[in-house]
Structure 1
Amino acid sequence: MKSESEDMSRTLAWACGMVLQSGPDDRRRIALAYQEAQTLIAGIPKDNGDARPRIVACFKRSDTYRADDDIACVGWILTAVQERVNERDLPDWRQFRKVINRTVKLLPLSSSTVH
């Protein structure tokens, strides 16, 4: 479990850094991708309570954007990490959730998407 938390910390730090360093246009692009990811995962059922299918779908989409050097990959990564944290079985899930929520608040989201 420790290494997964470390990986999660690194991934989340990278995503937060990308949001913080982004200008208004890139933040809008990240926000749009985040909203698309939220819509996508809402249609993917959990596997006996396991969010893995949702997480995998987000990482696949993120990889596609990242291959094109598209900042939208960050929105998909944030959603994937958020889904994993929402399972509430990581040792530091509450701290991760706080960081994710603060990061998402930096995005120009339409109010219907914010959880």
Structure 2
Amino acid sequence: MTELPDDVRDLAALELRAAQVQDWSIAGDSFTWTLLAGDSDRGHELATVTYVGAVVLHTNRRDLDRAVAAAAEVEHAEIRRTEDGGFEHRVTLVPAYPVVVRFWSVEVRRMPAPDHLRRER
């Protein structure tokens, strides 16, 4: 995808394959989740992603709670531009179910994480 704003480029730069859902929250028009990305060879990091002007589709609070409890992992993630000028982050979690977040802007915070945070599924 060309000509992405800096904030969306930061999201696209995350390597989310096999990242585990650690936590999530919804406040006002923002959706935030924290994902444990990486592996024992490259090292792990916690990526906290906050989508602003967010609408979460194809899932509900119960499913998100289950994703945390089950240490659900990202199977696939992609970013698409929407017709109205916003963006969608399309994420498929294993066990396989889709999460689509429509948003206007995003903030990505990354920090190193210890290997022991990775949970067995």
Place the TM-score, normalised by the shorter chain, in its bin: 0.3 to 0.5
Higher helix proportion (structure 1 or 2): 1
TM-score normalised according to structure 1 size: 0.35
Structure with more relative contact order (C-alpha pairs < 8 Å, separation 6 or more): 1
Higher strand proportion (structure 1 or 2): 2
TM-score normalised according to structure 2 size: 0.34
